[in-house]
Amino acid sequence: MKRTISMSLVLGALASTGLAQDGQVKIGVLNDQSSSFSALGGTEVVTAVELAIADYGGEALGKPIELVAADHQNKPEVGLSIARQWLGQEDVDVIADAANSAIALGVNTLIGDLNKVGLFVSPLTDKPTEADCNGNVVAWAYDAHSVFTSPVSFLLDDGVETFFILSPDYEAGKVQEATEEAAILAGGGTLVGKIRAPLGTTDFSSYLLQAQASGAEALIMNMNGPDLVNAVKQVQEFGIMSGGMTVALPILHQSDTRAIGVEAMQGVRFSAPWFWTINEESEKFGLRMKEITGDAPGWVAAGTYSAVTNYLTAVDAAGTDEAEAVLAQMREMEIDDFFVKNATLFPNGRLIHDMYSIEVKSPDEVEQGDDFFRLVSSIPADVAFKPYSESVCQIGK
């Protein structure tokens, strides 16, 4: 279901058609608000963008900012239909979040064809900034290289030699699997098996039994959301870790740990672009979000807040909402806030910034609700991300 959120009497500023006029910024949040990915962002992201607009003052280019939000239900045909209507008929200037890589790929094409802007936070696929790049989509939070090579390196350093990979059977899962396999082989390890489970799988027994039977020393699980919750619980039931196999989760969300519990997750390490108690400024943002939603925010919500705020700053600095001018301004301006540190925006749309190695606390270390993580180390931007020279998308060269 689609819902429209007005900021500061927006409706009174619109023409009789109800469409935003030239020079008026209109932001669309497109994500999953009702199925598998909803816990990772969903309506929490909409709340974060509402907060970003309010914190910015509610206006850009001297006019009220309008926000529309829609649930694509994890259905590509639904997501593309919404995006096509927003961009082609409703004068939406920028689409934010775009959860689900399969949907993001189609939206990326529309954004390029119609010369709009994308602020992608959730999607893992690299194609909008690599093979299918158009320069109009900014990948704000992370990429496959920055989060999926780190756990492999950690395990190799710990003496692990043989690996088994369990991934979700969709675009992002394929990217994760390929990135990890390359890192394993490059590091001198051996991949003894890999398998993909359909999105929405509830019974992982056959996949976990295959991992056990492979004889691998480490199982890397690339699941997220409800799939991750089910998979981790079944890892415990099958006694995989007590049997000597190391289980690594390359990426973990706030909502995942809340659902599974720190008792089961304590000691697990993973990489992420942010968590809400990483610094004082982040904690202030987290507490504000908790007052509204009841839960501490994850990095998808925080990243979308950051992306929208910097986009609005660029719009006003450029003096226009025209995509090319705004994106040029974003590449030139300093991007440094509670979410993004030491950032550079490449011409292909990849935003590089510091990443973090994080560990789940033990239950007795949790001092306040949702205070699940501790910082292990910072990973400099130029280490976490590949250099622009290695991108297959060489815009401007």
Residue 62: the pLDDT is 96
**Domains (ranges, CATH) in the chain?**
2-142+278-354 (3.40.50.2300), 145-272+355-384 (3.40.50.2300)
Residue 17: the pLDDT is 32
Can you spell out the DSSP letters for 199-240?
A: TT----HHHHHHHHHHT-SEEEE---HHHHHHHHHHHHHTTT
Rounded distance, CA 189 to CA 182, Å? 10
Q: How far is Cα of residue 197 from the mean position of the Cα atoms in its chain?
A: 21
Q: Which residue has the tokens 């190391």?
A: 246
Structure tokens, 283: 């904690």
- Angle subtended at Cα 127 by Cα 126 and Cα 131, rounded to the nearest 5 degrees: 125
What three-state secondary structure class fits 218? strand
Rounded distance, CA 268 to CA 151, Å? 10
8 A C-beta contact, residue 110 and residue 71: no
Residue 21: the pLDDT is 42
Rounded distance, CA 229 to CA 264, Å? 10
Q: Which residues contact 52 (CB under 8 A, 6 or more apart)?
A: 304, 305, 308, 309, 312
Per-residue pLDDT in tens (0 to 9) along the chain, 397 residues: 333 443 333 333 333 333 334 689 999 999 988 877 777 888 999 999 999 999 999 999 999 999 999 999 889 999 999 999 999 999 999 999 988 888 999 999 999 999 999 999 999 888 999 999 999 999 999 988 888 887 788 788 889 999 999 999 988 788 889 989 999 999 999 999 999 999 889 999 999 999 999 999 999 999 877 888 899 889 888 888 888 898 888 888 898 898 889 988 887 788 899 999 999 999 999 999 999 999 999 999 999 999 999 999 999 999 999 999 999 999 999 999 999 999 999 999 999 999 998 889 999 999 888 999 999 888 889 988 999 999 999 886 5
8 A C-beta contact, residue 254 and residue 369: no
Residue 397: the pLDDT is 52
Q: E strands along 85-197, which residues?
A: 94-97, 117-120, 137-139, 162-168, 190-197
DSSP code of residue 115: T
The phi-psi region of residue 269 (left if phi > 0; otherwise alpha if psi is between -120 and 50; otherwise beta) is beta
Q: Which residues contact 110 (CB under 8 A, 6 or more apart)?
A: 80, 83, 84, 87, 88, 116
- Angle subtended at Cα 276 by Cα 272 and Cα 282, rounded to the nearest 5 degrees: 115
Rounded distance, CA 363 to CA 345, Å? 38
Rounded distance, CA 74 to CA 230, Å? 19
Residue 22: the pLDDT is 61
Residue 129: the pLDDT is 95
Residue 50: the pLDDT is 98
> Which residue(s) pair with 315 in the sheet?
none
Structure tokens, 205: 């027994």
CB atoms within 10 A of CB 49: 25
Structure tokens, 222: 């690339």
Rounded distance, CA 391 to CA 205, Å? 39
Q: Which residues contact 292 (CB under 8 A, 6 or more apart)?
A: 47, 51
